[in-house]
C-alpha cells in the first residue's frame, strides 16, 4: 500500500513538473511583447505582475492526475503478471 502511494505521489509530481515546464516553454516561445502602449506613443511605466489564471493550473493538475493514475494502473498490471 505504501509503495502504491509513493509511486502515485512521485508520478504526479514528476508529471506536474514536466507539464509546467512545457507550458512555460510554450508560453515563452509564443509570447509577443507589446512595446508600444495602448495609445502607441510611449513605453509603459508600470508592469502588472502576478496575474494567475485558474484554468491552466487546473488543466495541468488534472492532466497530471490522469498520468499518475495511468502509471499506477500499469504498475498494478505489471505486478499481477509477475
Per-residue cell: 72: 499506477
Structural domain boundaries in the chain: 1-31
Nearest-10 Cα torsion for 17, 21, 26, 28: 130
Task: Please report, in tens digits, the pLDDT of each residue of the chain (82 residues total).
Answer: 788 889 889 999 999 999 999 988 998 898 887 666 566 666 666 777 766 677 788 888 999 999 999 998 998 888 777 6
Close Cβ partners of 23 (under 8 Å, ≥ 6 residues apart): 56, 60
pLDDT of residue 40: 62
Q: What is the pLDDT of residue 2?
A: 83
Tell me, what's the pLDDT at 41?
A: 62
- Long-range contacts, stretch 26-30, CB < 8 angstroms, 24+ apart: none
Q: Which residue bears the cell 507550458?
A: 23
Amino acid at each position: 500500500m505504501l509503495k502504491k502511494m509513493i509511486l502515485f505521489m512521485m508520478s504526479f509530481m514528476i508529471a506536474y513538473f514536466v507539464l509546467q515546464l512545457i507550458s512555460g516553454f510554450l508560453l515563452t516561445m509564443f509570447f509577443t511583447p507589446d512595446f508600444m502602449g495602448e495609445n502607441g506613443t510611449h513605453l509603459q511605466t508600470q508592469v502588472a505582475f502576478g496575474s494567475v489564471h485558474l484554468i491552466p493550473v487546473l488543466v495541468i493538475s488534472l492532466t497530471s492526475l490522469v498520468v499518475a493514475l495511468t502509471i499506477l494502473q500499469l504498475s498494478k498490471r505489471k505486478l499481477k503478471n509477475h
